[in-house]
Amino acid sequence: MERNEPNTTEQTKPKPKMPVAESTVGVGSSGIDWDKLKPVSVSYEDSVTDARKNDIWKRLYDRAGLSSGSEKERQEIRLGVYAYCCKNGTSREGSYEGEFQTASGKIVPASIIPQAATRMHIRKFMRANMMDSYEALKKSKIMEEDGRFIAKAGALGIAPEAAFAMADWLTDCPNFTPSEARAHDLSFTRSIDRARRARDGNSLEAVEEGRSERNMRAQGPGAEAQGNPVKF
């Protein structure tokens, strides 16, 4: 009588090794490794590029007579620009007829700001300097020393140490503390309401268009054609 030996073939057969897959982090269903394709930087349209920002600062320094000035003197100019724009806003409708005096005593006309940045890009320029201006205004405490500015902040229930956050270009500043974010929101809301009332509910673009049409009519017949000559 034959003895049946247990069949061990299947038990001892080695299992085939599965190929080790490469890391699929960032790989989507398309098989594209997007994580390795990230751009170095992507700019926001509400601020100028770094290259443009640096060019504007160079123009500002030159107009302030600091084409060959020290870094300290340039920092004084930057803080002066930040403080002036914090007090007066960065609207392209601003007059920029004032001035500021630096820590070294240099008197600088504010008109150099629109001259260097152009009125259409002043706020975009300041937004490109968001982090630098936030640190400069906060650490210098310059806005806390302005009684009129602090009174304006106080009327909105904003503490003196958070008043600098009312600067109109600091929207969405990632360094804001909760009290600073609240201060900015309160100031922004009040500014929007005040501007809307001043324009009878119209947008700034509509107001500017109306002003342009009135200027054309005041200049008499043919002014429109002269303002937009035909190019052959």
Contact 99, 108 (CB under 8 A): yes
* Beta strand extents in 9-134 (DSSP E only): 99-101, 107-109
Q: How high is the pLDDT of residue 69?
A: 74
Specify the pTM: 0.71
Rounded to the nearest 10 degrees, how much is the dihedral formed by the CA atoms of 154, 91, 46, 122?
-110
Q: How high is the pLDDT of residue 199?
A: 52
Q: How high is the pLDDT of residue 41?
A: 86
Domain map (residue ranges) of the chain: 50-198
Q: How high is the pLDDT of residue 151?
A: 97
Distance CA 169, CA 126 (A): 6
Q: How high is the pLDDT of residue 214?
A: 44
| Cα dihedral 198, 204, 209, 212 sign | positive
Q: What would the two tokens of residue 181 be? A: 């974010």
Q: Tens of pLDDT along the chain (232 residues)? A: 445 555 544 455 555 555 545 455 555 578 899 999 999 989 899 999 999 999 999 999 999 998 777 999 999 999 999 999 999 999 999 999 999 999 999 999 999 999 999 999 999 999 999 999 999 999 999 999 999 999 999 999 999 999 999 999 999 999 999 999 999 999 998 877 666 665 555 554 554 454 445 444 444 444 444 444 333 2
**DSSP letter at 37?**
G
